[in-house]
Amino acid sequence: MIKITPENTENPSRGKILLSEPFLTDPYFKRAAILLCEHNDEGSFGFVLNNYLDMSLGQIMKGLPELTTRVSLGGPVNSSNLYYLHTLGSSIIDSKEIANGIYLGGDFEHLKEEISKGNVGHNQVKFFVGYSGWSANQLEEEMAQNSWYVAEAKPEIVMNIKSDNLWAEFLESMGSKYSKMIGLPTDPNLN
């Protein structure tokens, strides 16, 4: 069998991006870019950055201040919960830095206050319904099957709510041997 995609050369870790291989057909992870928020012996979790919902933030959760943004389906786990990433740093109490300048969660009431005051721009916070999770060693098994590529988390790409093709942008940032996969069809039989 001829291999038309490159081998993965990086290992997953907190703060890295998982990119699905181009032929993965799972509806949650097809051409997905996932920010890995934790990866340890107990398992892994992260958020699909580019699986946007056709709903506004206000439709998902009533009583939120107005913010022009997009909400992504972060994954199939706990899809009744709202999560968020931001670049507001430690100004949001109890937030946790995941990657260089990208933070997870924190005091939600404080975030709402900052949005109400107009102190938060659309490119400073990204919301997710649900998350993606892997049990202990599950992600390593999927990596061995070449289901994922690992990329560096670039805040300007992670937080870009205007892009409809984050998967391609991350592949492009990895260099020419990976960017060649962007044009591959989703069905390898069509290649």
Domain map of the chain by residue range?
Answer: 16-190
Give me the mean pLDDT over the 33-49 stretch: 96
pLDDT surpassing 90 at residue 14:
yes
Distance between CA atoms of residues 157 and 169, nearest Å: 7
Give me the pLDDT at residue 27, please: 85
pLDDT per residue as tens digits for the range 152-180? 998 999 998 888 899 999 999 988 888 88
Q: Tokens representing 111?
A: 């975030």
Q: Which residues of 48-68 are buried (b: 16+ CB within 10 A; e: fewer)?
A: bbbbeeeeebeeeeeebeebe
CATH, range 16-190:
3.40.1740.10
Q: Tokens representing 152?
A: 């560096």
Give me the pLDDT at residue 105, please: 95
Per the listing, tokens 């509806």 go with 27
The pTM is what?
0.90
Distance between CA atoms of residues 152 and 70, nearest Å: 23
- Nearest-5° angle of CA 189, CA 23, CA 10? 140
Residues near 86 by beta carbon (within 8 Å), at least 6 away in sequence? 92, 95, 102, 103, 106, 111, 120, 124, 125, 126
Chain-wide mean pLDDT for the chain?
Answer: 89
Distance between CA atoms of residues 153 and 190, nearest Å: 31
| Residue 145 or 38, more confident | 38
Give me the pLDDT at residue 183, please: 81
Give me the pLDDT at residue 28, please: 85
